[in-house]
Amino acid sequence: MNKHVEAMIARLVYIGGKLFRLDRGKGTENRILVVRPDAIGDMVLTIPFLRELRRNRPKSHIALVCNPGVYDLVELCPYVDEFLFFDKRARRHKFFVNLARSIRFAWEHGRKGRYGIAISPSYANPDTYADAWICFLSGIPRRISYSEELDPEKHAYYMGTHDIYFTELDRGREIRHEAEAPLGLLRHMGMSVEKDAPELWTEAADEEAARALLAEGRSLEGGRSPVRILVCLSSSNKTKDWPVEHFAETCRRILRVCDAEIILIGADRESREYGEAFCRELPMARNLIGKTTLRQTAAVMRMSDMYLGGDTGPMHMAAACGLCGAAVYKTAKDLPFLVNNPAKWFAPWKADIAVCQPEKALPGCEMGCGKEQHCIRLVTVEEVYQVMLEKIRERGWLLQPEGKDRI
Count up the domains in the chain and report the number. 2
The torsion angle over the Cα atoms of residues 366, 367, 371 and 376, rounded to 10 degrees, is 60
The verdict on residue 297 lying in a domain is yes
Please give the pLDDT value at position 400: 62
- Domain co-membership, 268 together with 148: no
Verify that 182 and 233 share a domain, yes or no.
Answer: no
User: Is there a domain that residue 405 lies in?
Assistant: no
Residues 145 and 286 in one domain: no
Instruction: Say if residue 338's pLDDT is above 70.
Output: no
Helices within 1-137 (DSSP H only): 3-19, 40-56, 71-74, 94-105, 129-137
364 and 220 share one domain: yes
Q: Using CA atoms, how far apart are residues 86 and 88, in angstroms rounded to an integer?
A: 6
Q: What is the pLDDT of residues 176-211, one digit of tens each?
A: 788 998 999 999 999 999 999 999 999 999 999 999
Same domain (yes/no): 15, 164? yes
Q: Are residues 11 and 56 in the same domain?
A: yes
CATH number, position 344: 3.40.50.2000
Q: What is the pTM of this model?
A: 0.93
214 in the same domain as 179: no
Rank 51-65, 144-158, 213-227 by mean pLDDT and report only the highest: 51-65
Residues 179, 144 within the same domain? yes
Q: What is the mean pLDDT of residues 233-242?
A: 90
What are 9-33's pLDDT values in tens digits?
Answer: 999 999 999 988 877 777 788 999 9
211 and 355 co-located in one domain: yes
Provide the pLDDT for residue 90. 80
Same domain, 141 and 251: no
pLDDT tens digits, one per residue of 314-325: 999 999 999 999
- Asked if the structure places residue 385 within a domain, the reply is yes
Residue 370 CB: number of other CB atoms within 10 A?
10
Show the domain range for 296.
Answer: 205-394
Give the tens place of pLDDT for each residue, 39-91.
999 999 999 999 999 999 999 999 999 999 999 999 999 999 999 999 998 87
